[in-house]
Amino acid sequence: MRSKDFKEQVYGLRNRLYRLAKWMMQNSEDAEDVVQEVFLKLWSKKETLGQYDNLEAFTIRVTKNLCLNKLKSKKTSLLSVDSIEVKDIHSTPLEVMSFKHNREIMDRIIGSLPEQQRAILQLRNVEGLSIRDISGILDLSENNVRVILSRARKQIKEKYVKYHDHV
């Protein structure tokens, strides 16, 4: 792979890789370090990168594995999925407060899910990856990814409804 191709195909993924690394590492500096290490690893193997059918999925997998290795070495655990901040200039203070409260509830619910379910939710709903790409990244069958995603969504819905029934 030529330098120009690497820059377009791999370096062009830097924002996606950073978001994934930041979500997994829960730290901006560590996420930046991971992404840099991913680029260094891939650059050193640039001659063989053309053999992968889906370079994007492979790059995301390398990032995920490097994050997991770093987390294992630090003996830390993954935290909840970061919510996407939505700002509406037409929102009333009550709407803003309600949104923040619901976001906190969802963060807690998602944070209580098993690691694999959180990872699949992140890759599918935040990163927008296909079921096929997720199955390649996580070494799972496509059907298994669908089942895990369905169970995660079902658990979120049940816990959210249960919370509101108690309130």
What does the domain layout of the chain look like in residue ranges? 3-74, 93-166
With 0.85 as the threshold, say if the pTM is over it: no
Amino acid residing at 141: S
* Burial of 161 from C-beta contacts in 10 A (0-12 / 13-18 / 19+): exposed
pLDDT at 93 over 90: no
81 DSSP 8-state letter = P
Radius of gyration of the chain (CA): 18
CATH number for the segment(s) 93-166: 1.10.10.10
Task: For 84, list phi and psi in degrees, rounded to 5.
Answer: -85, 125
Do residues 110 and 81 lie in contact, with contact meaning Cβ atoms separated by under 8 Å? Answer: yes
pLDDT given for residue 90 in this prediction: 65
pLDDT band per the 50, 70, 90 thresholds, residue 127? confident
pLDDT at 4 over 90: no
89 DSSP 8-state letter = T
Do residues 63 and 33 lie in contact, with contact meaning Cβ atoms separated by under 8 Å? Answer: no
Which CATH code, of 1.10.1740, 3.30.2320, 1.10.3470, 1.10.287, is assigned to 3-74? 1.10.1740
Same fold, 3-74 and 93-166: no
pLDDT band per the 50, 70, 90 thresholds, residue 88? low
pLDDT at 75 over 70: no
Residues 6+ apart with CB under 8 A from 37: 66
Residues 6+ apart with CB under 8 A from 126: 19, 23, 81, 84
pLDDT at 1 over 80: no
As a whole number, the mean pLDDT across the chain is 82
Tokens of 33: 């370090």
